[in-house]
Chains A and B, each alone.
Chain A
């Protein structure tokens, strides 16, 4: 199993550009999520999904869109990048059971710089 994969590993954008961060998992996990990690602030949840076709907002959803058309993929879209979106982005997945998710498996991260 490859686990959770993310592409690209590094990306530099100019303000106003758009892009999609890719995330895929091969563990058949129902739950997938996106976080951003900024120095001194831990991880903050952007969006999450509990299955194909079901997404919801996390703590910091503004400026980001997601969709979940398959169990495996959960892309994160930045429609108009801003310098405040410079961060490290992590995708994670976990199985669901008993009405909650178990521990999450994290991808390697994407380091995004917006100039």
Chain B
């Protein structure tokens, strides 16, 4: 699986959009971009994934650059409950393929 690079931490004001970047310059054509988050002392939570098109669901939007070498997770209106570690993962979508979390980005949403 391709390696990802994320900033170690970010701050965001409550109610504002949180934009979390991820670089994955060695991504292969059959690898998806997945985002998960983990709130302190809880299990990881799946957020969104995409292959090459931008994606949106009830939690977030995922913007993938045309060359697929980077992506941005957007939380449109961050709340205090969005404070968590956010993990960007690039992996082939196949059964049994484990998740490998890097260090992630600690997002602190402040009032």
* A-B complex is real: no
